[in-house]
């Protein structure tokens, strides 16, 4: 179930990621879908939340000075709050949780195809499945416009309103072929050829339209709520996904059991659009992808680079504390290295062409693993040396088709938070448990506390003896059980070289993102012939564990942007405070304040050149957590009047108090 509850993005619970599961953070804030609407709807609650969490009275803290400026229009806030409250708790079922919803969506696809062919008799139908949030159908026809989409929806409404029966019929293959040929539907003939069963099922809508289909459907079109159906978009799609085949018109629609569910879904969709990291990346000047340099190559702008720097520093600190040695390795290597590793055999389509350098072939690295193996091989090892843990923020390059590139989520060059553990067989469980603990510690820092965990077991084609597969899989299972995490078994879904654990994090909208992975590898130790000397002075092979927590810095940054809707928590925000003068006569004092912030490791910026209301609006648009407003009174008393994006006006503070308050909040991952 996906639950859309009272949603808010610009409140202090969004600014404060979970540090520890046992912290004083209120448990009801763990629901990721409480962060979903616009900031103004919860600004009034933010001050109370700040007071309750920090034991500070803020209601009377704001001192009336010439620097104070009213908040955005209160009426607008109330209207947004009222709209948000109407969606306080709407449950969105899934195809898996509701068979009736699946039947509705499948039937809607057929109703849409019938409507299209009524309006456009020359249109040829192909396939029309249900999908995660609705349905689509592909048509061979002239390109459609949004205006024509509305006509199709009206025709669908008429078909639904006629309450036509859905009738199942079973025919022979020859009879199905005869009927399809009579309709001149060439794509249906191709589909018929791909059906293996001897008896073919057909579904009719009344006696006016039919298609090859196995079902299921609703009994009558009237079972569909017209007000819970909407056609969303038109896209091009190649038949069978083959760019050498005809381009089709794909119409996407969404369908739900009730109008309230549709409204909640559309609200969710609009919120996802508002959070789109590609848009926010431009608005907040975080990153870009420059066509002049090539698609899929990320430019980290100063503000985005600062966030990356903070992430990297935290990542390194945690890894060093947990016994990892940090590495840096080359971006290219001899192609022979990738032949030995097997990447040229199994991964060649995702690798860039080789480079000839002085009659030797070199390769841009698609993986970091072989380099870490080479570092292991530089000297002999004894069983006393284990476990050996190495980690690297290593940039890799993988070929992706231009059509598949998508912001930070699908790129051609990215930095993995990669690590490898070399250990003994009886150390696998403890090392996996250590990785799970590290994963939890790191992800909680960024506010991710809900995970979907999958344990993938041995596939049909694999390397390694049965005994070691059993031991490795058992170690992964025991580690997960010790951790107390629930998980699903993906039977046969492991890599050919070993079993693995995959972890998906859940963001503020309830979407799941594959980030963390832990893989046991029996293949590379054998391919690179790495060994150690055991207690009997015999040579043995170590076990190799691959693991990544964030996945890649680029993709994880994109997830963070969308999770927080660009409203980063104070500790992670690229700019933590703006210093704003009322007039230019306070500029010198403002420079002193800004310099003091920077001297204390606080990311502060001086902004001037506009009237104060405009400076404040600009800061809010840029989602700056804190504003230090300075007027004549503040200069005279050596203070600043503090305005929090989440807490409103926090009153007048001495500069040293302002600095210490920020430092304490950053250290504790709290908001102000």
pLDDT digits (tens, 9 = 90+) for 598-619: 999 999 999 999 999 999 999 9
CA-CA distance, 637 to 654, in Å (whole number)?
Answer: 8
Q: What is the mean pLDDT of residues 512-534?
A: 92
Write down the pLDDT at residue 578.
98
Q: Which candidate in 416, 445, 576, 586 is catalytic?
A: 416
pTM for this model (two decimals): 0.80
Tokens of 300: 């980290």
Examine the pLDDT at 61 and tell me if it is beyond 80: no
Asked if pLDDT for residue 503 goes beyond 90, the answer is: yes
Quote the DSSP letter at residue 114: H
Q: Report pLDDT digits (tens) over 131-141.
A: 989 999 999 99
Give me the catalytic one of 398, 563, 603, 645. 398
Q: Is the pLDDT of residue 72 over 60?
A: no
The set of residues, in sequence order, having a beta carbon less than 8 Å from that of 629 and lying 6+ positions away, is 67, 68, 69, 580, 582, 612, 616, 640, 641, 642, 643
- pLDDT at 80 exceeding the cut of 60: no
In this predicted structure, the answer to whether residue 78 has a pLDDT above a threshold of 60 is no
pLDDT of residue 197: 81
Sign of the C-alpha dihedral computed for residues 447, 449, 450 and 452 taken in this order: positive
pLDDT-derived band of residue 91, with 50, 70 and 90 as boundaries? confident
CA distance 558 to 72: 29
* Whole-number Å distance between alpha carbons of 654 and 657: 5
Whether residue 500 lies in the annotated active site: yes
Which two structure tokens, joined as six digits, stand for 106?
Answer: 């499948």
Q: Is the pLDDT of residue 428 over 70?
A: yes
- Would you state the pLDDT for residue 29? 24
Residue identified by tokens 């005994």 is: 467
Please state at what angle helix 43-54 crosses helix 74-86, rounded to 10 degrees: 80
| Among 369, 423, 590, 607, the one annotated catalytic | 369
Where are the chain's structural domains?
A: 99-266, 291-564, 577-668
- What does the pLDDT look like over 268-298, one tens digit per residue? 999 999 999 999 999 999 999 998 999 999 9
Catalytic residue among 34, 80, 275, 500: 500
Q: How confident is the model at residue 85 (pLDDT cuts 50, 70, 90)?
A: low
Please give the structure tokens belonging to residue 156: 């669908």
- pLDDT-based confidence at 452, cuts 50/70/90? very high
pLDDT, residue 87, reads 54
pLDDT of residue 84: 54
Query: What distance in Å separates the CA atoms of residue 657 and residue 388, rounded to the nearest whole number?
Result: 45
Tokens of 480: 């997960």
Q: Is the peptide bond before 387 cis (omega within 30 degrees of 0)?
A: yes
Q: Is the pLDDT assigned to residue 330 strictly greater than 50?
A: yes
Domain 291-564 part of CATH 1.10.10.10? no
Catalytic annotation present for 546:
yes
pLDDT band at 242 (very low <50, low <70, confident <90, very high): confident
Q: Is the pLDDT of residue 544 over 80?
A: yes
- The CATH fold of domain 577-668: Rossmann fold (3.40.50)
C-beta separation of 248 from 238 below 8 A = yes
Query: Quick check: 652 pLDDT over 80?
Result: yes
85/72 Cα distance (integer angstroms): 20
Fold of 99-266: 3.30.980
**Which position among 277, 433, 458, 546 bears the catalytic label?**
546
| Catalytic, out of 35, 105, 372, 420 | 420
pLDDT in tens, 559-573: 999 999 999 999 999
Which is catalytic among the residues 417, 418, 567, 649? Answer: 418
Residue 39: pLDDT above 80?
A: no
Q: Residue 479: which pLDDT band, with cuts at 50, 70 and 90?
A: very high
Nearest CA among 513, 518, 461, 449 for reference residue 485: 449
Average confidence score pLDDT of the chain:
85
State yes or no: is 416 an active-site residue: yes
């Amino acid at each position: 179930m996906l639950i859309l509850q009272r949603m808010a993005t610009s409140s202090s619970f969004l600014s404060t990621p979970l540090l520890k599961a046992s912290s004083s953070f209120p448990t009801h804030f763990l629901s990721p879908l409480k962060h979903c609407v616009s900031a103004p709807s919860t600004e009034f609650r933010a001050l109370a939340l700040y007071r309750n969490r920090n034991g500070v009275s803020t209601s009377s803290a704001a001192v009336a000075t010439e620097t104070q400026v009213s908040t955005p229009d209160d009426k607008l806030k109330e209207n947004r709050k009222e709209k948000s409250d109407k969606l306080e708790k709407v449950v969105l079922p899934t195809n898996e949780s509701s068979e009736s919803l699946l039947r509705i969506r499948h039937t809607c696809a057929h109703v849409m195809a019938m409507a299209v062919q009524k309006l456009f008799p020359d249109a040829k139908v192909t396939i029309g499945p249900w999908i995660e949030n609705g349905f689509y159908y592909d048509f061979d026809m002239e390109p459609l416009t949004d205006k024509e989409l509305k006509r199709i929806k009206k025709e669908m409404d008429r078909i639904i309103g006629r309450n036509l029966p859905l009738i199942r019929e079973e025919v022979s293959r020859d009879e199905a072929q005869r009927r399809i040929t009579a309709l001149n539907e060439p794509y249906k003939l191709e589909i018929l050829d791909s059906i293996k069963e001897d008896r073919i099922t057909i579904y009719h809508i009344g006696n006016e339209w039919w298609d090859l289909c196995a079902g299921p459907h609703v009994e009558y079109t009237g079972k569909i709520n017209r007000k819970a159906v909407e056609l969303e978009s038109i896209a091009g799609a190649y038949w069978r996904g083959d760019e050498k085949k005809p381009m089709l018109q794909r119409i996407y629609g969404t369908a739900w059991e009730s109008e309230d569910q549709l409204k909640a879904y559309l609200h969710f969709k609009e919120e996802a659009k508002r959070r789109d990291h590609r848009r926010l990346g431009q608005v907040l000047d975080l990153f870009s992808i420059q066509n002049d340099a090539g698609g899929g190559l990320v430019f980290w702008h100063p503000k985005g680079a600062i966030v990356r720097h903070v992430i990297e520093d935290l990542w390194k600190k945690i890894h060093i504390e947990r016994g990892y040695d940090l590495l840096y390795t080359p971006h290219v290597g001899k192609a022979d290295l990738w032949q030995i590793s097997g990447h040229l055999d199994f991964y060649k389509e995702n690798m860039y062409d080789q480079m000839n350098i002085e009659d030797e072939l070199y390769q841009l690295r698609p993986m970091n693993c072989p380099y870490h193996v080479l570092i292991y091989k530089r000297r002999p090892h004894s069983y006393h040396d284990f476990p050996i843990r190495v980690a690297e923020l290593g940039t890799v390059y993988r070929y992706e088709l231009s059509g598949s590139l998508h912001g930070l989520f699908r790129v051609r060059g990215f930095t993995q938070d990669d690590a490898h553990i070399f250990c003994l067989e009886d150390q696998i469980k403890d090392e996996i448990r250590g990785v799970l603990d590290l994963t939890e510690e790191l992800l909680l820092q960024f506010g991710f506390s809900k995970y979907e965990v999958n344990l993938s077991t041995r596939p049909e084609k694999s390397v390694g003896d049965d005994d070691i597969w059993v031991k490795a899989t058992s170690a992964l299972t025991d580690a997960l059980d010790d951790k107390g995490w629930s998980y699903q078994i993906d039977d046969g879904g492991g890599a050919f070289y070993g079993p693995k654990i995959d972890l998906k994090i859940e963001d503020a909208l309830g979407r799941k993102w594959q980030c963390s992975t832990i893989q046991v590898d029996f293949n590379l130790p054998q391919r690179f012939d790495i060994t150690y000397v055991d207690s009997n002075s015999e040579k043995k092979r170590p076990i190799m564990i691959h693991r990544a927590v964030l996945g890649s810095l680029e993709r994880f940054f994109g997830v963070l942007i969308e999770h927080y809707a660009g409203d980063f928590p104070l500790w992670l925000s690229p700019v933590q405070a703006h210093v704003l003068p009322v007039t230019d006569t306070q500029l010198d004092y403002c420079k002193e304040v800004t310099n003091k912030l920077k001297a204390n490791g606080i990311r502060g910026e001086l902004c001037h050149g506009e009237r104060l209301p405009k400076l404040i609006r600009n800061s809010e648009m840029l989602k700056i957590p804190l504003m230090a407003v300075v007027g004549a009174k503040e200069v005279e008393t050596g203070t600043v009047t503090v305005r929090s994006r989440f807490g409103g006006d926090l009153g007048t503070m001495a500069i040293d108090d302002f600095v210490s308050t920020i430092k304490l909040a950053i250290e504790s991952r709290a908001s102000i």
